[in-house]
Chains A and B, each alone.
Chain A
């Protein structure tokens, strides 16, 4: 028997990174008896190892809870967790569509931050009821009145009765539960109407096929229901429905207002895409729910197996990851230096980092990622336009009339003390100043137009280091602008290594060429011969470094008899060698390709 809609509350929690979202989620689960304190791993929702290590949430995770409110009624809460990082705001918008309300956490010591704003606006855009909560009251530096004032001034949300809690100690968390009942609206679907279920996430189970995470908007689904989606003609028979408790728990049916999962022996992720609407075959709904705007990858990078024979394993790994990561784009690619691989598109550098680590950990594959690039528009002299995401595909200069690069409009929030250093940084990154607003006496919002290719390198790290971590940053793509760009090639031992080529602004080519050459000199180990490292633009060498030849690489200690030890030392050396990739005659460690990004511009 399904639960009555008036007793269901579907909500998510939005917050700036590290404002305590996962901790509050854990506390809510404990207090509703979903898990006991003892069995709760710290931060239950962050179930990926990677998430727990980094203290960030990457994937959505829904959880169902039962709460007996003071009015004596037992309510069902569906909490849909959301990622906090700017790279993942797309995933946030997915989960918001499945909710009626959002708990907005604000850190009482830090107040409203960039990501608080971005996510709160997303929630408001999706017509969610915003329920502010002020967290970290256990800290001596808590200033809840200021935080409440910021919520009201900046977001225009009434924070007068916002619970002042400590998710860590549990202080006032009971008040949060009560407010969820009172403030967050119950769903209002029609249970007798044709089925409309929004797929907000999915993953692949080896036994059950694709598992779709759904919010039932209208109608009812149960085992045996014939279903289809709006974008695919294929039909499937539901084999299992269930809820998240927080592990998957099979139930008889799911009805309008509920959040759960559907399994229907779907073999291909393409057949049930995230954002699509599921309906019944027998009685299809007339039109789909408003889906999501497709997430556009912003940063592109080559991904190659370290061991060329693992190409197919890498392909499988990427396809499996793509299954529940709609933002990841994959295209076959090949490089003279690295052989066959893929050109992947990511939401940002963190997203790229996460995908890379997941491939290495979950699939046990060693990979090489090349320097990330953005997508450029190349207007050719013959009047045609070409989109170039891979520097090696850039046509010869003689065929290029002009080029355009993507720019972002950035909002940087900072205490006033750091306005100077930030302006300097934005200047260095070819930024165009737009506007500056004093939000209050401790916070300034600076607006800049910045080329995306300057941001993907080390902008965020530089920003943090120049402002002692105080500044935060949010951006959105704001189109293309004409720019004087050139291709910077790196030559190793006289040969261009295509995997190291990047596209840079003309005025920066010399500096970056020099930095990359220096960096490569550090990461490429000495070999049997001297290796010249050169940076070139249009065939002209603009920088040069040299990796000297090895002078001593021999076991030259006395006592001949201990062959076992000699062998062990050589084996160790061999291990190191295996992690290298041969480019022509030069052996390069796999991290070289990515390390060239991490040139320190602050030097």
Chain B
């Protein structure tokens, strides 16, 4: 299994919590950016000939803000230069209010079969404070256009005066919209974002309050038929994001576009954060990589464990043995013994117990050399 991530670094306006590579003021560079993206796609495709890919994820920014022809063009390019499985999962992120029936039709025609909507909150005043460009109503309209499709929604917890009941209402809204997958992220205030000031002033929820909401909403989601398959991801059976699962299983993926991260042939690298630098590199046939690390020795094992322990299924003991040729119970005897209380351990798997998944860092760091 391998994935392709495509980054679209444009949006209408910056959300107050956003520290991703997204540049509302550079939207005039859309055309040249895509020209470069196509070129990078071709180059990487040729370079990775022979590898089979079965997921594509177009993220951002707000990919739905650019004309659909560019997205369709990129998918066409990917299909031309990469070996894409027939049943590939092809996802696009979109914002409510940025798509119409025509756009959705073009996406579908291009082969997109999964839609991830940035809902964040079902409350307009919260959306406004987050500087989101949509309302709860816009979300339902967008869902209407996507009826019958495989739709996911992102929601945020940890906001200002948020209560568990509020988030449940947001969940209700998402379910009313027909979503089959929900990503529930805890707001992480990053230095340099406007919301960081709120954080410094203690206006956001504490970790304990956020955890209370998480626990309560997790139970609610379960009731509604959404089970947790990873720390922040909940889905109806069969609707898990294959693209994300590939990350947790430490599968390979190639990132295309600004700031996109890749993991190929044991090497991790990330493209440059700036659109201009990226275009310059691509025009001159240079890789646009800003950093690159070959993962060596036990670091590989640690990554494998750290990622797998995020999932409900945990570490597949046989797969570990297949991957590294050693026995995980021997390799990490001490860490496993120390954390036995917090782990579900059988001959086949090691997973963090349900109630400890949200405090798993303490467990994971014990596996670090």
Contacts and interface: CB of A to CB of B under 8 A. Distances in A.
A283 interface: no
Interface in A536-564: 548-564
B158 to A, nearest CB: 9
The 4 closest A-B pairs by CB, nearest first: A551-B211, A560-B247, A556-B186, A552-B211
A551 B207 CA distance: 7
Given A552-B208, A556-B185, A563 B247 contact: yes
Contacts of A598: none
A550 to B, nearest CB: 4
Nearest to A549: B359
A577 B188 contact: no
Interface of B: 5, 20, 59, 154, 183, 185-186, 188, 207-208, 210-212, 214, 231-232, 244, 247-248, 253, 255, 260-263, 268, 270, 291, 293, 302-303, 306-307, 342, 356-365, 368
A472 interface: no
A551 B212 contact: yes
A570 B255 CA distance: 23
A574 interface: yes
A530 to B, nearest CB: 12
A577 B368 CA distance: 11
Contacts of B188: 556-557
A267 interface: no
Contacts of A566: 306
Query: Per DSSP, are chain A's interface residues mostly helix, strand or loop, or mixed?
Result: loop
A577 B365 CA distance: 8
A563 B307 contact: yes
Interface residues of A, number: 26
Given A552-B214, A552-B358, A556-B186, 6 more contacts: A528-B359, A551-B212, A556-B232, A563-B268, A567-B303, A574-B368
B303 A558 contact: no
A248 B307 CA distance: 60
Contacts of B362: 527-528, 550, 553
A529 B248 CA distance: 27
Given A550-B359, A554-B357, A561 B5 contact: yes
Contacts of B248: 560
A563 B212 contact: no
A551 B231 contact: no
A574 B299 CA distance: 14
Contacts of B214: 552
A570 B306 contact: yes
A563 B210 CA distance: 24
Given A563-B261, A570-B361, A552 B247 contact: no
A571 B306 CA distance: 12
A573 interface: yes
Contact of B360 (A551, A554, A577): A554
A554 B365 contact: no
Contacts of A570: 306, 361, 364-365, 368
A383 to B, nearest CB: 49
Interface of A: 527-528, 548-564, 566-567, 570-571, 573-574, 577
A564 B185 contact: no
A552 B207 contact: yes
Contacts of A558: 154, 183, 185, 232
Contact of A563 (B263, B360, B364): B263
Given A551-B207, A552-B210, A559 B268 contact: no
Contacts of B207: 551-553
A85 to B, nearest CB: 40
A549 B358 CA distance: 12
Contact of B356 (A528, A556, A559, A564): A528
A554 B5 contact: no
Contact of B270 (A557, A562, A571): A562
Contacts of B361: 553-555, 570, 573
A561 B21 CA distance: 14
A571 B364 CA distance: 10
Nearest to A577: B365
B235 to A, nearest CB: 15
A549 B359 CA distance: 9
Contacts of B268: 563-564
Given A559-B20, A563-B263, A554 B359 contact: yes
27 contacts: A528-B342, A528-B359, A548-B208, A550-B359, A551-B208, A552-B210, A552-B211, A552-B214, A552-B358, A553-B358, A555-B231, A556-B188, A556-B232, A558-B154, A558-B183, A559-B59, A561-B253, A562-B270, A563-B247, A563-B268, A564-B270, A567-B302, A567-B303, A570-B364, A570-B368, A574-B365, A577-B365
Contact of A564 (B208, B261, B363): B261
Given A551-B207, A552-B211, A557 B185 contact: yes
Contacts of B244: 560
A570 B261 CA distance: 18
B231 A553 contact: no
B297 to A, nearest CB: 14
Contacts of B262: 561
A560 B306 CA distance: 12
A571 B293 CA distance: 16
Contact of A554 (B20, B261, B303, B358): B358
A195 B304 CA distance: 74
Nearest to A587: B362
Nearest to B248: A560
A449 to B, nearest CB: 49
Contacts of A561: 5, 247, 253, 255, 260-263
Contacts of B357: 554
Contacts of B210: 551-552
A561 B2 CA distance: 12
A142 B262 CA distance: 70
Contact of A552 (B186, B260, B293): B186
Contacts of B342: 528
Contacts of A553: 207, 358-362
A601 to B, nearest CB: 30
